[in-house]
């Protein structure tokens, strides 16, 4: 458990429960499958040991990281003093250096490296940009402030030329220093929101996520200043679409079904992924995703679940390995009688994405997941979460989700 988090037992959360009006305390009795899953998560000892042959990164405090940056720069200066062009050895971040850790169910960065030198015309500019980002990180650490990726770019437009160049340097800094992005004080703009049975502190301000109307708490990129105070939630539901989140927030769904709702409004940003992991891990909650019934929705689930290849070195800090795919599954289109006119034809890009996913080892070993993706490809059909509203606006909250949770119908 994080040192900056406190978790109270559900039975002790009287303050939080007092805040929730109209809560049905017996509603969780019907979710025996969810409760069984939660019990198994609380009792299972998950391995935290990573396999050999992967690039290890750790969360580092300001003092240690500050010292390491000074040490790295001194080594570069020493090489210059010897008359040698300074160089940096960096982990390769291409797909050929990605390892699937089956035991921990994570995508991780391997140990293959490449050398970039100031003495090479091909890599001199890359090294210069990396050193400039190191200088900026050093400044952020000394001032104890954060900066967004966009701000980093505007800090030296002439050198970076375009943001993708500064973004690449930022992505290389973590593996170079052996730490996660959060430790460098470089943040990406956050777009996620949270609602439901959760009390937290954000920079000292106490926030009760059951009392924020229908808008919720906007996930901050400064998650090192956020503390989870208490929760009596039974599970975490990650919702792909903001429209589906609005449907659940309007009826305050967490009052009847004690849960925490989180959405990143599409593809998940780093802050949303970090916070989803923290909620699941620190509160030992079963976590589920609700995504569109298409290959891209399933891909979003996989990013929350195992991490992404681009940021594979940070997967231990970003991924939620115990995540379940609740829906919308391909087989749900028939099971819940979604009308044909509400289904969409899969594009060639959809089919390409589906086939690529089935070839990934972490998908291929899950027969239920493969079968569901294969069904989509066979029928060439997909559907949005909102297609469930063809049975009425209340169908998602009152029928679909309760039925899925009650029956344990997830992947």
Secondary structure (DSSP) of 309-350: STTGGGHHHH--TT-EEEE--TTHHHHTT--GGG-EEPPHHH
Contact 350, 296 (CB under 8 A): yes
- Token pair 């991780």 is found at 108
Report the Cα 368 to chain-centroid distance in Å.
Answer: 23
Structure tokens at 150: 């966009």
Structure tokens at 69: 């940056």
Q: Are 219 and 271 in contact (CB under 8 A)?
A: yes
pLDDT above 70: percentage of residues in the chain: 86
- The token duo for 359 is 């070839």
- pLDDT of 232 > 70? The answer is yes
Length of the chain in residues, anyone? Answer: 411
Out of 154, 257, 299, 336, pick the active-site residue. Answer: 154
Please tell me the least confidently modeled range out of 151-155, 181-185, 205-209, 338-342. 181-185
Instruction: Please report, rounded to a whole number, the percentage of residues in the chain having pLDDT higher than 90.
Output: 53
DSSP state letters, 249-277 = HHTTHHHHS-EEEEE-SSSPPHHHHHHHH
Question: Are β-strands 106-109 and 98-101 bridged in parallel, bridged antiparallel, or unpaired?
Answer: antiparallel
Is the domain 62-187 a CATH 3.40.50.300 member? Answer: no
Structure tokens at 75: 């080594």
**pLDDT for 29:** 59
- The partner residues of 85 in beta bridges, in order of sequence, read none
Tokens of 401: 């989700």
Sign of the C-alpha dihedral, residues 98, 101, 106, 111?
A: negative
Instruction: Kindly indicate the confidence band of residue 10, based on its pLDDT and cuts at 50, 70 and 90.
Output: very low
Structure tokens at 59: 């969360």
Q: Which residue has the tokens 């070839």?
A: 359
| Domain locations along the chain | 62-187, 189-407
Question: 3-class SS at 383?
Answer: strand
Q: Which residue stretches of 322-387 are H helix?
A: 332-335, 348-359, 361-364, 367-379
CATH number for the segment(s) 189-407: 3.40.1360.10
Task: Give the end-to-end CA distance of the chain in Å, rounded to a whole number.
Answer: 27
Tell me, what DSSP letter sits at residue 234?
Answer: S
Rounded-to-10 torsion of CA 294, 299, 300, 305? 130
* Residue 206 parent element (H or E): strand 205-208
d(CA 374, CA 97): 28
SS3 of residue 360 by DSSP: coil
pTM as predicted: 0.78
Tell me the C-alpha distance between 123 and 117, whole Å.
6
Q: How confident is the model at residue 8 (pLDDT cuts 50, 70, 90)?
A: very low
For residue 257, indicate whether it is catalytic. Answer: no
pLDDT (0 to 100) of residue 398: 95
Query: Which residue, among 406, 396, 400, has the nearest Cα to 30 in the 3D structure?
Result: 406
Among 72-76, 261-265, 266-270, the range with the most confident prediction by mean pLDDT is 261-265
Given a cut of 90, whether residue 87 has pLDDT beyond it is: no
11 has a pLDDT exceeding 70 = no
Average confidence score pLDDT of the chain: 85
d(CA 372, CA 81): 61
DSSP 294: S
User: Between residues 105 and 272, which one has the greater pLDDT?
Assistant: 272
| DSSP sequence for 128-195 | HHHHHHHHHHHHHHHHT--EEHHHHHHHTHHHH-SHHHHHHHHHHHHHHHTB-HHHHTEEPPP--EEE
């Amino acid at each position: 458990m994080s040192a900056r988090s406190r978790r109270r037992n559900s039975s002790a959360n009287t303050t939080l429960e007092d805040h929730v009006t109209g809560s049905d305390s017996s509603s969780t009795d019907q979710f025996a499958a969810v409760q069984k899953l939660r019990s198994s998560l609380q009792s299972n000892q998950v391995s935290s040991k990573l396999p050999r042959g992967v690039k290890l990164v750790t969360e580092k405090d300001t003092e240690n990281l500050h010292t390491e940056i000074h040490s790295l720069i001194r080594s570069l200066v020493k090489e210059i003093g010897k008359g040698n062009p300074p160089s940096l050895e960096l982990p390769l971040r291409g797909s050929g250096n990605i390892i699937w850790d089956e035991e921990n169910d994570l995508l991780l960065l391997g140990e293959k490296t490449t050398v970039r030198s100031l003495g090479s015309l091909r890599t001199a500019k890359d090294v210069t940009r990396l050193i400039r980002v190191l200088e900026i990180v050093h400044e952020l650490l000394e001032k104890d402030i954060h900066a967004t990726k966009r701000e980093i770019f505007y800090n030296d437009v002439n050198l970076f030329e375009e943001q993708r160049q500064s973004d690449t340097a930022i992505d290389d800094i973590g593996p170079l220093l052996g730490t996660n992005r959060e430790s460098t004080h470089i943040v990406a703009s956050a777009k996620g929101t949270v609602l439901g049975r959760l009390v937290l502190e954000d920079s000292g301000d106490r926030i009760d996520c059951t009392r924020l109307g229908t808008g919720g708490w906007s996930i901050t990129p400064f998650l090192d200043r956020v503390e989870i105070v208490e929760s009596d939630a039974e599970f975490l539901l990650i919702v792909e679409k903001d429209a589906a989140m609005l449907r659940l927030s309007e009826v305050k769904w967490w009052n009847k079904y004690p849960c925490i709702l989180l959405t990143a409004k599409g593809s998940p940003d780093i802050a949303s992924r970090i916070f989803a992991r923290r909620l699941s891990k620190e509160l030992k909650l079963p976590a589920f995703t609700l995504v569109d019934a298409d290959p891209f929705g399933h891909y979003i689930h996989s990013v929350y679940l195992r991490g992404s290849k681009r940021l594979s070195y940070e997967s231990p800090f970003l991924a939620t390995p115990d995540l379940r795919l609740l829906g919308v599954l391909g087989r749900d289109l028939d099971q819940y009688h979604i009308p044909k006119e509400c289904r969409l034809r899969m594009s060639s890009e959809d089919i390409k994405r589906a086939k690529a996913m089935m070839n990934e080892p972490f998908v291929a070993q899950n027969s239920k997941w493969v079968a569901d993706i294969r069904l989509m490809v066979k029928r060439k059909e997909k559907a949005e979460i909102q297609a469930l509203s063809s049975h009425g606006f209340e169908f998602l909250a009152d029928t679909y989700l309760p039925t899925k949770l009650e029956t344990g119908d997830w992947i």
